[in-house]
Structure 1
Amino acid sequence: MFPRPSVLRLVPAIVATTLVLAALSGQPAASVTVPLTIDGNADWVAHRHTLDIAPDGAFDFSFLADAPAGKHGSVRTTPDGHFEFSERPGQPVRFYGVNLTFTANFPKDAASARQLAGRLARSGYNAARLHHLERFLIRAGASSPADFDPDRIEQLDTLFAALKQAGLYISIDLYSNRTFTREELISFGLPADLPASAAQQQFKAVLPLSDAAFDSWTAYARALLTHRNPHTGLTWGKDPALMGICPVNEDTLAERLDLSPAIRARYRAAFAATHAVPASGSDTSGAAFNRFVHATAIRNDARMRDFIRSLGVTVPLTGSNYRNYQALTFVRDHYDYIDNHQYFDHPRFPGGSWSLPFAFRQTSAIAESAAVPRTLMPTRIFGRPFVVTEFNYVRPNRYRAEGGVIMPAYASLQDWDALFNFEYAWHRDLLLARGNNQTRGAFSLAADPVGLVADRLSALLFLRRDISPAPPAIAFSVDPEIAYRDIKYKFPDDFSRLGLVARIGSVASGHAAAGPGIDAIVTDTEAHPRFRLARQGVIPADSISDNNRRYRSSTGQIDLQPAQGTLVVNTPRAQLFALAPGTSGKGDVATVTNGETHAAVSVVSIDGKPLAESSRILITHLTDALPTGMVFGSSDRTVLQNWGRLPHLVRRGVADLRLRLPANAGWQLWQLDQTGARTASHPLDRDDDDILHARLSTVTPSGDTCLAYELARDILSTGIRNPDPQP
């Protein structure tokens, strides 16, 4: 039995306060909302947060690096839909990285850039996406987007070179959020006084229709891709460390048409100029117009592609990396690789955009049948690498630790090719652990102890290929006659749930045929295809329960029970458990019984050997962490009102861990700090059945916090590394 969390002792106080306020205000008690402030107590304990990683410690995953980036030639795509290096053909390569956004792309000096690159490499990352950087890179007051600030381009060059040297490949956009002069806006056909945030989005909408906008895009693209980095001796566009380019971030026209009535009017006029219009006027909601919009996107993508290739740049290209609509299949079918974005519990803004208060749902992704990344799965196109350059299980979601189990498990099951958590940091102060920004931002791993540890482990699991891809591949045949009826028509939910069992993706109608690489075809007109697929032996008969309460992957390694709130991943080198309060999970080696706090527990071989043979094992135990003084509108934590301050506080949680490992091996268990360094020994018992037992707690008897442990045989008690790099 586990002690009931003392935080529940706060409930009577909250209720009493509510009743008092209700009496004073004359309102019903149910209508009075009491703000919740996160403060240190027995259940929220101060945590020593750091971005550093101890060399050769349990969190030092630098053995995954193959530095410098580009040593095996340029990155290219393969006919079977993966990445490889030009000088290492036939060996597929995966990437796992983080986004650096805004001023985090501009370390103050070379030492800071090297420090950042080293931290990322030790975290297990082999890639980074440099994002939201243009408006800082272009000189203030410049009349041309090709006019770079000399200090900023030097900082960016230095960062690129440092990342490359540390073994990290780089992904970039050629437009995401730069601003424009009044004269530029007028030339694009946009209002001269358009606010900057609106102009950034409306530029994406007018780009396919405006030659002036295209010229502005080409000016920046040419300047960056042909810029020679003095620290590498190569231009950006021809550096083999550059692994992917998105010409325009999140430019999906289905989402941009209604940014203003004037935008839709321009598309309506362009449509009318090239199509016969009924006497009653142009139908801008029908299939013909929707086809036109997507054809316009395809033409614009083609001219951007032609321009980039005219510069001699051969880096793989993508686009339309936003939303899960069926008709986007016909746009994405022209890219070298497919990219898409998705967040779990992305903030909403009941006040102003990106201004507090932020609103959250505070729900569990497991309870929603791994909605992220499940609903992304149909958007993969078979025969192309699939990449997610933005994902996050967003702080302050109380269940977000489960993301460190969900994403590597299902991305590996799908055999995806690259993942980029959004984000590592949005401000360079976060990189230096200084200033007032260390608790701000819903996405930054650097400001979230739970997210930071979970993502390090995700990188290791994904890059080391610990979780097997599903053998069967099931394709959804996208029918244009159906997809174009509604410009925002999504894939059926039933089809996405097949992705919890098998590899799934889409193909454009006419390209679809079961055969080599594809085991079955599903269409929009088929309800509940899992029954047919089970009868045909494409998926195991028991892989999806009749009531959708359990999903077992075709590999047998992943067991998801949404109603119970559990996800168990059982592989030879890693056993992962995301558990609701009071539940348990069992693997071949590890069994975990959770206490009364949602938690994610992972047991992972560090030396690359199967757990049963390993001499060094990493154990993580993640609950929740929030800054001191973070304020919510109520105890349900759905409305965030204040970011709080340091120190971070870790939520108390306990779990029982049992391990079936070789007897008489002299096992020792060590508590770790956030750098991965050992801080103290931890009790470890062996029962009469030779099962090792440890009681994990995120709060130690001494009052410190502990999110991770190292289990090692006595021969390694001083700590050494025995890496097993994987392809």
Structure 2
Amino acid sequence: MRQRCLATVLALAVMCVPARAADQWVPVKEISLELRPGSPLDFSSILPNGRIDGGHRLVVGKEGRLAYAKAPDTPVRMLCASLAWSPASGGFPDHEGADRYARQLAMHGYNIARLHFVDASLMFGRDRDLDFDPETLDRIQYLLAALKRNGIHWIIDGLSSPRGAYGGFDDRWDTGGDVKLMLHLDDRTFEHWRRLQQAVLGRVNPYTGEAPIRDEALALVILANENGLEFEAVVHDRPGRAPYDDRLAQPFNLWLKKRYGTTASLAKVWGVLDSGEVLETGGIRLPRDRYNDSPRLRDLQAFFVETERASTARMSKVLRDLGYTGLITNYNNWPSSQMALSRRDLQVITANTYHDWVGGYTPGSELLQTSSIADSVNYIRMIAASRWLGKPFVVSEYDHLFWNRYRYEGGLAMPAYAALQGWDALCRHGHGPIALAYGEPFPHKQAMLPYAIALDPVARAGETLAALLYRRGDVATSDVTIPFSVRGEEDLTDDMQAREPESLTDLALVGRIGLERAERLGDAIAVTQPRRESSDNVLALLRASSRLKPDNATTVDAGIYQSSTGEIVLDRFARQLRVATPATEAMAFASLREPVDLGVLRVERADGNGLVALSALDPPATLSDSRRFLLIFATDAQNTDMTFRDSEEKVIESFGRLPVLIRQGTVDLSLSKTAAKWRISPVGLDGTVHPPVVDGAGAVKFRLSNYGPSGPTTYFLLELR
């Protein structure tokens, strides 16, 4: 092998000697972030978006998977762009900006977009109910048309803001407001929601010529974002406040009266009632502590299930009466046992999930600074267990949040396991998944922030990898399915927060899991009710039945899980996740104590934690046959002058400012390939291919630095000749 550095002193210093200390941070040089057409990051040719027409309307196809109407037996994977703009993040773009933005989304590999908080944007600064800002309405309508022209379907929330479309509020993106609660309880609020659907979805879009509700581009309506009654109560929980709103008391008493009839009958089930509690007069109180398990809480869950299912039916009828024939979902929050029953009859199941959740942007906001691999990606496993088998499953929000130093894990873990599970759409949450440039003049664009993945090179590298692992289909779906039996209300316990046990959801790291009605299980190897099995027991049954190969390396006690496909291995205690497929090989690691051989790619050494991935770019997309490869190397990124209140960087003091800084790092790599000539060129965050920094002949083996003459980056182009 021959290796040559560029004939410059800077390249020699950067590329041919060991990297600087791992705590060195270097500023990103790019300003424009618009991908150059035809660049290695332009996926519009390898992931083309077709014309959206009647044949390309999304439907529930074979085995409950999303598919196009013209090919219902062929599942499609939808990579989703979250569009959750507010005035602080720039709002909806003007027409020229919308055209550029939609085209860029298609180039990045997105084929569906979720419009979130549309109601808040339309009502920003408005004093009268349903009095939409005309410019914002025009921009939304034009953006929808631009997305459709670029082959990007739509997911739209029927309601995002707890203020709905009521006038006179300036906290539309906050948790104030009770519209989500009162939708379940109050006819006037429900009528307000109905009018909102008519005004947004039922209004003819002048740029498409038809109302969104009749447009084949509208794939899914989320009736109301995070609208579960228990979740809504937790969101509004405050010290000194009762856990449940008093307005729930009367309908809860009516429900109890219908079920039990008399105070005496209720007391036989609940035990001793409090003084003054009489069912006949509606005097049964709501629970005073949601975490103190009790029969009272169990019945409150049953009441929530009945109420939520009735609300969904009522809201769905509104859309159907308006002429909507597409897909409907609800309750994308909370993977609890109670919520699972409320979702049971939905057409599509949706879920939101986060690792190391952050509550806000103010000084003093904090996270745990933990690895998701260290808890066996629990944030992924817990929503896997909330899915109902035989229905499309959409991850409407997820993120491994900034400023967590392990967030490079999210770009490998979520798309890999989403593909393994056979999920149908994947949406990493943020103001927007991309930005057209650094330095846009808006408060939330002045620095990287949580829920703002567009400016974060680490998150963006993960989304690039997701387009290949998930949408392109590099990771295969498991042919092993492990149902979790559900009987019905009898599965509810006295624990309001009960969900599927983590000691069983680890099965999601091996095969497909999800909920199934008990009467449909037949002789399937399943997790039964009550939950008494261990994952070891279920795995033993799968091995005995030959559904799991004898050489599968899963060892629960050792924290090692290998997928049934053999493509994914999670090592909890080493904090490593490895993916090896014909088209992509990748590894996320907290440390690298010894070399790891992925197949074609061998990771020899690294000077810190990070993500390394090698993906074939030439058709057919296999590492064996391709001559061009996208190489991703992501470490960490922070803002200039970012400061913390503690040495572990858990508590934020100031987010700082642009430019973004990337943590400098090196990794030693080799490929089980030889070539007459080969070279590696840095690829800028805008897709620009810079001059080669390493080249050679024969064996492909090199040290890669993420910092070179063109500045730091997360992308490289490897070419074999």
Deviation of residue 88 (structure 1)? 2.7
The answer to whether the aligner puts 1:95 opposite 2:101 as a matched pair is no
Alpha-carbon separation, structure 2, partners of 1:289 and 1:162:
46
Contact 1:512 1:521 in 2 (8 A): no
Q: Do 1:439 and 1:447's aligned partners in 2 also have CA atoms closer than 8 Å?
A: yes
Q: C-alpha displacement at 1:74, in angstroms? A: 1.9
The Cα of 1:560 is off from its aligned counterpart by 0.9
CA contact (8 A) 1:321 1:340 kept: yes
Q: Letter of the aligned partner of 2:411 in structure 1?
A: G
Q: Distance in 2 between matches of 1:476 and 1:489?
A: 15
2:569 aligned residue: 559
Q: Does structure 1 residue 356 correspond to structure 2 residue 363?
A: yes
Does structure 1 residue 85 correspond to structure 2 residue 63?
A: no
CA contact (8 A) 1:121 1:166 kept: yes
Cα distance, 1:481 vs structure 2: 2.1
Shift of 1:486: 2.3
| Alpha-carbon distance in structure 1 between the residues aligned to 2:624 and 2:22 | 38
Q: Which amino acid aligns with 1:565?
A: R
Give the 5 Å matches for 1:120-519. 120-138=105-123, 140-145=125-130, 147-177=131-161, 179=163, 200=176, 202-257=178-233, 259=236, 261=242, 264-274=245-255, 275=257, 276=261, 278=263, 280=273, 281=277, 282=284, 284=286, 285-348=296-359, 354-425=361-432, 433-436=440-443, 437-479=445-487, 480-514=489-523, 519=525
Q: 8 Å contact 2:22–2:608 — kept in the other structure?
A: no
What corresponds to 1:621 in structure 2?
633
Tell me the secondary structure at the aligned position of residue 88 of structure 1: coil
1:584-610: per-residue Cα shift (whole Å, max 9, x none)? 422220011342311100000112421
Cα distance in structure 2, aligned partners of 1:615 and 1:684: 14
Shift of 1:43: 4.0
Task: Judge conservation of contact 2:31–2:439 (CA < 8 Å) in 1.
Answer: no
Whole-Å separation in 1 of the counterparts to 2:714 and 2:243 = 53
Equivalent residue for 1:530, pick from 525, 529, 536: 536
**How many residues in Structure 1 have an aligned counterpart in Structure 2?**
660
The residue aligned with 2:5 is: none
Can you give the 5+ residue segments of structure 1 that lack an aligned partner in the other structure? 9-41, 186-191, 715-727
2:138 & 2:25 partners in 1: Cα distance?
46
Q: 3-state DSSP class of the match of 1:481?
A: helix
| Helix, strand or coil at the partner of 1:419 | strand
SS at match of 1:237: helix
8 A contact 2:98–2:142 mirrored in 1: yes
Which residue of structure 2 aligns with residue 587 of structure 1?
598
2:588 maps to: 578
Greater CA drift, 524-533 or 202-211 = 524-533
Query: How many Å separate the matches in 1 of 2:164 and 2:685?
Result: 43
1: CA distance, partners of 2:671 / 2:243: 64
- SS state at 1:356 partner: coil
Q: 1: distance between equivalents of 2:438 and 2:332?
A: 27
Is the deviation greater in 536-545 or in 268-277? 536-545
* Aligned 8 A contact 2:49 2:106 in 1: no
In structure 2, relative to structure 1, the CA distance for the partners of 1:658 and 1:89 (3 Å cut) is: same
- 1:29 is matched with none
Out of 651, 657, 665, the residue aligned to residue 645 of structure 1 is 657
Contact kept? 1:580, 1:594, Cα under 8 Å: no
1:433 Cα offset (Å): 3.4
Rounded Cα–Cα distance in structure 2 between residues aligned with 1:290 and 1:378: 19
Give distance in 1, aligned partners of 2:345 and 2:691: 55
Counterpart of 1:6 (choices 8, 11, 21) is: 21
Is the contact between residue 429 and residue 435 of structure 1 (CA under 8 Å) also seen in structure 2? Answer: no
Deviations 1:545-590 (A, max 9, x none): 1414211111111111111111110000000111223344222200
The alignment partner of 1:614 has SS state of coil
Q: Is the 2:32–2:438 Cα contact (8 Å) retained in structure 1? A: no
- Judged with a 3 Å threshold, the aligned counterparts in structure 2 of structure 1 residues 465 and 111 are, in CA distance, closer, same or farther, namely same
Task: Flag the 1:70–1:178 CA change in 2: closer, same or farther, 3 A.
Answer: farther
Question: Match of 2:591, as an amino acid?
Answer: P
Change (3 A) 1:629 1:514: farther
1:636 is aligned to 2:645: no
The one-letter code of the counterpart of 2:418 is A
Query: SS of the counterpart of 2:98?
Result: helix
| 2:116 maps to amino acid | H
C-alpha distance in 1 between matches for 2:632 and 2:491: 47
Q: Contact 1:60/1:122 (CA < 8 Å) preserved in 2?
A: yes
Deviation string 1:415-436 (CA, Å, 9 cap, x unpaired) is 1100011015399997883445
- Judging changes above 3 Å, is the alpha-carbon distance between structure 1 residues 613 and 304 closer, same or farther for their aligned structure 2 residues? same
- Cα offsets for 1:102-139 (capped at 9, x unmatched): 33685442110011011111111111111112122137
CA contact (8 A) 1:502 1:539 kept: no
> What's the RMSD between the two structures over aligned residues?
2.7
In structure 2, list runs of 5 or more residues that go unmatched: 1-15, 265-272, 278-283, 287-295
Q: Distance in 2 between matches of 1:139 and 1:407?
A: 34
Q: Identify which range, 96-105 or 584-593, moves more after superposition.
A: 96-105
Is the Cα contact below 8 Å between 2:681 and 2:690 reproduced in 1? yes
Letter in 2 for 1:6: A
Change beyond 3 A, Cα 1:403–1:598 = same
Q: Is the 8 A contact 1:514 1:521 kept in 2?
A: no
Closer, same or farther: CA 241–333 of 1 in aligned 2, 3 Å: same
Aligned-partner residue type, residue 102 of structure 1 = W
8 A contact 1:543–1:551 mirrored in 2: yes
Structure 2 CA distance for partners of 1:581 and 1:265, relative to 1, 3 Å: same
Letter of the 2:120 partner, please give it: R
C-alpha contact 1:105 1:130 (8 A) present in aligned 2: no
Equivalent residue letter for 1:268: A
* Alpha-carbon distance between aligned partners in 1 of 2:618 and 2:666, rounded to the nearest angstrom: 27
Pairwise CA distance, 1:265: 2.6
In structure 2, the CA distance between the partners of 1:324 and 1:574, relative to structure 1 (3 Å rule), is: same
Deviates more, 1:433-442 or 1:488-497: 433-442
- 1:360 counterpart SS class: coil
In structure 1, what residue type is equivalent to 2:109? G
After alignment, is 520-529 or 324-333 more displaced?
520-529
Distance 2:638 2:408 in 1: 12
Contact 1:655-1:696 at 8 Å conserved across structures: yes
Post-superposition shift, 1:440? 4.5
The 1:491/1:585 distance shift into structure 2, 3 A limit, reads same
Give the structure-2-normalised TM-score.
0.86
- Residue correspondence of structure 1 range 108-123 to structure 2 within 5 A: 108-123=93-108
Normalised TM-score (structure 1): 0.85
Greater alpha carbon shift after TM alignment, 470-479 vs 298-307: 470-479
For residue 218 of structure 1, report the CA deviation from its aligned partner: 0.5
Task: Check whether the contact 2:682–2:691 (CA below 8 A) recurs between aligned residues.
Answer: yes
Identity of aligned residues (%): 27
Q: What SS does the corresponding residue of 2:232 show, helix, strand or coil?
A: helix
Deviation at 1:531, TM superposition (A): 2.4
The corresponding residue for 1:74 is: 57
Q: Distance in 2 between matches of 1:656 and 1:117?
A: 37
Residue range with higher mean Cα deviation, 248-257 or 493-502: 248-257
Give, in whole Å, the separation in 2 of the partners of 1:708 and 1:140: 42
1:617 to partner: Cα distance = 0.7
Q: Distance between the aligned counterparts of 2:71 and 2:713, measured in 1? A: 42
* Displacement of 1:101: 1.1
Give deviations 1:201-224, integer Å, cap 9, x for gaps. 522112111001101110101111
